[in-house]
Structure 1
Amino acid sequence: MISPSPRRRLLLFLAGGVGLQVGAFAEGNLLWIGVMGPMGFGYAQVGLAHLAVMLLTLLFTLPLGVLVDRVRRGTALAVTGGLAAGLLGSLALAAWLEAVTWPHLLLVTLAVVMVRGTGHLAQEAYLPAVVERDRLVPVNAMMLIAGSASSFGVGFLLSGSPGATAAAVGVAALGVAGSAWLFGVIRAPEEPAPPRTGVWREAVEGVRFTLTHPVLRAIVVYLFGLTAMQESIEEFAVTPLLPESGDVARPGAVLSWLIYVATPIGAVLAILLYRRVGTFRLAWAAVLVSQPFSLLVLAGMDWGPIWYTLGRLVPWAGAAVAAVTLLSHRQAITPRRLLGRSGATLIIALVVAEVAGSFLEVLAEFLIGRQGPGDAGGWPVVVLATAGVLACAVPMFRLRRLSHPAEAGPPSDAGASADAGAP
């Protein structure tokens, strides 16, 4: 049965997405910090879990993308939400009873990451069937705002006690359970799946399409560069030292919260500007305008708190604008039954970029020495990393004319093969 009202489908999707974002926080900070810390697990176990998650992501994300392109996305969201709710519920019960064991925690962590990864791919692929093209940016922006808010809301429950941890995991379980029910009610029309040719061949088709399509390839290059360079910029930025009682200097934690409000600010800017500027044009313009502000952090607090704040706030807000608009543009120009594999290709690229960024950070620390609060010796790293991010955005700028026709009308899956090489 199809939901009779497009507005009702949109509201159900938004509500389901908010519930999914509440549960998404569980796969990172909630499980590894909120559970492992109070339960006495050490850094070695946290590192082992993180490594296992990375390996599973590299191995299984593409097959999961193939699965998402084969099945009904609404059904996939309902099933994955139900499974994630059950897994998190078992962990919440164990935390409440103070009976969490390392094998149980590792199993739940890995299973939730895989289940939630499938749900994430299905949600991105399902949205173009639920809303019209001109609503993609607002809905994606609202999802980003919901994710940012959930990290605060669920995080407040993590006070370090087992009871608070159980409550936080329980809230996450309820969030994904609610999302499973809401997505199951939507019943939006979807295109039939193409004939199956084998998991490997279908996976290769998705990777080839993503990396040969000029616009999608430019998006991958930019996001890879941003992910790889961002850690070095954050690590080697000059952290201001503010006086504390007793004339003891401490890092400027008072200003750090501004980084977290940058995400909703960027999402709101995307909503306000995308119709006037254009979705893809807004993405590369936001990057080229905002990322040079990272250089302001080199002065620490010497130029005053306003300039330092802009050096942290503006680049993060620009990255949020680009994240919303690039996701929306990718959903608009990618054939519907390739969205799962295209998203999976991008996730794998980001995992590889995260590893590359860690190596670059270690190399920089080896060459110029480890940085401490207030140390300005890392300015070459910040300058080079910022230049690297801008360079990775140049391919999008060069495609600024080619991308506009893709925004004129809805994509046709029937012409996907003919259009695979042109945006």
Structure 2
Amino acid sequence: MWNLAQRLRPQGVLWHNRDFLCLWSGQTISQFGSQITGLALPLVAILLLDASAFEVAALGVVEFVPFILFSLPAGAWVDRLRRRPILIVADWGRAVGLATVPLAYFLDALTMGQLYVVGFVVGAFTVVFDVSYQSYLPSLVERDELPDANGKLEVTRSAAQTAGPGAAGVLISAFSAPFAILIDAISFLASALFVTAIRREESLPEREATEKGRLRSEIAVGLRFVVRHPIMRPNLIYVSLSNFFYSAVFSIYLVYAVRDLDLSAATIGIIGSLGSLGTLAGAIVASRLGRDFGTGPVMIGAAAAGNFSLFFIPLASGTLVIPLLVASGLILGFSAVVYNVVGISLSQQITPDRMLGRMNASRRFVVWGVIPLGMLGGGALGTAIGLRETMWIAAGCCSLCFLTLFASPLRAIRTVADAEQLVGGYNERFTLSSASTSD
């Protein structure tokens, strides 16, 4: 707790950056709300609509399909437009979409079809928001402040993950899942108001003359930049593989917890909150670990620990159910946040501003695009051979994913300077290649 207080205590440049504080405040509120919906929406399907394991997995799928459909064009749009207005529209869109769930419930008209539509709409606006958000942050803070800024954002996101599931379980038990979703809709409105309050004038992103062309060409440039990048390519492969197997497990996790382990909504929420203490701890120490032990080694170590933590979920039985599920959440949460803070900050620091939108979009297109496939695979396999058996298979495969990082140049990178030295020539060659391709 002392480290958390030190991390959040008003000191340093960012605490005097009003615009960053507005973005941070809005994100904090909406993150708490989103944690509620993360539990409430599938529980609406399970408890109110008696959905099957496959239907619940499919609900998760439709939330991620937009990442396949819209990530790449969203990145190109973000590199053409001012990013703050995009964030505001995306927040309003998510608020309206979620508000239809409690409305339909009160009118006794709620169906699985509507949940699928809401999941898709909210997912589409989330794609636009996330790509814009990670591209907008470097315009509010200096490049050398990005690790601290990302760390602060992760601290409050992790705090939301810690308190959110428990609060969601209480709200759902005391009132109803649709009422809990209404709270999330309100949180997105609050986020929109905070982003609206940002005063800093935003100019259009600078673009090379060779980049001014058709949207399809700009998308292709961004995708090539990431796929051929000596640092981002192995990261892309690792996260894609891990996300596939993580999603196979967690697409059926709630069904497994409710029907196999006989856990209540409140207990599931408490387990999630306790496990999420790991994400909070990871957010507090992530940037320090990167500085002290080196960017590459920390990312590889975090990846390995997170992959192995999945084994605790199918191991859970008898009196060890809660301890093992909490342990899995603690290790996975800590590892994932450390990996994300260190890895995303590195990507932002070594990417030219004109490429930020497409870099973020291309990365998300691939690493989030595999999630629906993992969810469908988990749902189908869980229905065919059993939930626990499916989790064992996914955990075993996931435990090997970190080897893609271990075999890459990332192992030798300790500082941003090391990374810039490695990618400097690549960036120059890529610019020349893109120019000749456009000509």
**TM-score, normalisation: structure 1:** 0.75
| 1:61 counterpart residue number | 71
SS at match of 1:328: helix
Distance 1:30 1:393, change over 3 A: same
Alpha-carbon distance between aligned partners in 2 of 1:127 and 1:108, rounded to the nearest angstrom: 28
Residues 279 and 325, structure 1, Cα contact 8 Å, conserved in 2: yes
Distance 1:157 1:82, change over 3 A: farther
Residues 77 and 122, structure 1, Cα contact 8 Å, conserved in 2: yes
| 1:243 counterpart residue number | none
Worse-superposed segment, 173-182 or 102-111 = 102-111
Shift of the alpha carbon at 1:212? 0.9
Which residue, 186, 192, 199 being the options, matches 2:205?
Answer: 192
| 2:11 counterpart residue number | none
| 1:400 counterpart residue number | 412
Instruction: Could you tell me which runs of 5 or more consecutive residues in structure 2 were left unpaired when the two chains were aligned.
Output: 1-13, 252-260, 433-439
| 2:9 counterpart residue number | none
Residue 152, structure 1, aligned to residue 165, structure 2:
yes
Shift of the alpha carbon at 1:41? 5.7
Residue 223, structure 1, aligned to residue 236, structure 2:
no
Residue 120, structure 1, aligned to residue 130, structure 2:
yes
Distance 1:383 1:5, change over 3 A: closer
Distance 1:60 1:400, change over 3 A: same
Distance 1:46 1:378, change over 3 A: closer
Distance 1:313 1:187, change over 3 A: same
Alpha-carbon distance between aligned partners in 2 of 1:217 and 1:371, rounded to the nearest angstrom: 33
Which residue, 80, 83, 89 being the options, matches 2:93?
Answer: 83
Distance 1:186 1:407, change over 3 A: farther
SS at match of 1:214: coil
Alpha-carbon distance between aligned partners in 2 of 1:379 and 1:174, rounded to the nearest angstrom: 39
Residues 225 and 430, structure 2, Cα contact 8 Å, conserved in 1: no
Residue 324, structure 1, aligned to residue 333, structure 2:
no
Alpha-carbon distance between aligned partners in 1 of 2:357 and 2:73, rounded to the nearest angstrom: 10
| 1:244 counterpart residue number | none
Considering fraction of residues, name the structure with more helix: 2
Shift of the alpha carbon at 1:86? 2.5
Instruction: Could you tell me which runs of 5 or more consecutive residues in structure 1 were left unpaired when the two chains were aligned.
Output: 236-248
| 2:401 counterpart residue number | 389
Matches within 5 A, 1:206-355: 206-230=222-246, 258-288=274-304, 313-354=330-371
Distance 1:363 1:403, change over 3 A: farther
Distance 1:101 1:128, change over 3 A: same
Distance 1:255 1:214, change over 3 A: same
Deviations 1:40-76 (A, max 9, x none): 2633654554444444331222112222222111111
Deviations 1:156-209 (A, max 9, x none): 355268x53343222111211111121122143445342641221111111100
Letter in 2 for 1:273: L
Residue 173, structure 1, aligned to residue 185, structure 2:
yes
Distance 1:420 1:402, change over 3 A: farther
Distance 1:297 1:95, change over 3 A: closer
Shift of the alpha carbon at 1:283? 2.0
Letter in 1 for 2:28: V
Alpha-carbon distance between aligned partners in 2 of 1:358 and 1:153, rounded to the nearest angstrom: 24
Alpha-carbon distance between aligned partners in 1 of 2:173 and 2:305, rounded to the nearest angstrom: 41
| 2:51 counterpart residue number | 42
Which residue, 2, 21, 24 being the options, matches 1:14?
Answer: 24
Alpha-carbon distance between aligned partners in 1 of 2:313 and 2:182, rounded to the nearest angstrom: 39
Alpha-carbon distance between aligned partners in 2 of 1:99 and 1:250, rounded to the nearest angstrom: 29
Alpha-carbon distance between aligned partners in 1 of 2:57 and 2:380, rounded to the nearest angstrom: 20
Alpha-carbon distance between aligned partners in 1 of 2:58 and 2:323, rounded to the nearest angstrom: 39
Residues 64 and 123, structure 2, Cα contact 8 Å, conserved in 1: no
Count of matched residue positions in the alignment of Structure 1 and Structure 2: 396
| 1:133 counterpart residue number | 143
SS at match of 2:49: coil
Alpha-carbon distance between aligned partners in 2 of 1:30 and 1:256, rounded to the nearest angstrom: 13
SS at match of 2:172: coil
SS at match of 2:17: helix
Alpha-carbon distance between aligned partners in 1 of 2:370 and 2:290, rounded to the nearest angstrom: 28
| 2:219 counterpart residue number | 203
SS at match of 1:100: coil
Alpha-carbon distance between aligned partners in 1 of 2:323 and 2:195, rounded to the nearest angstrom: 44
Letter in 1 for 2:190: G
Distance 1:356 1:79, change over 3 A: closer
Residues 280 and 329, structure 1, Cα contact 8 Å, conserved in 2: no
Alpha-carbon distance between aligned partners in 2 of 1:318 and 1:99, rounded to the nearest angstrom: 42
Residues 86 and 129, structure 2, Cα contact 8 Å, conserved in 1: yes
Residues 157 and 168, structure 1, Cα contact 8 Å, conserved in 2: no
Alpha-carbon distance between aligned partners in 1 of 2:311 and 2:177, rounded to the nearest angstrom: 39
Distance 1:354 1:197, change over 3 A: same
Alpha-carbon distance between aligned partners in 2 of 1:366 and 1:84, rounded to the nearest angstrom: 31
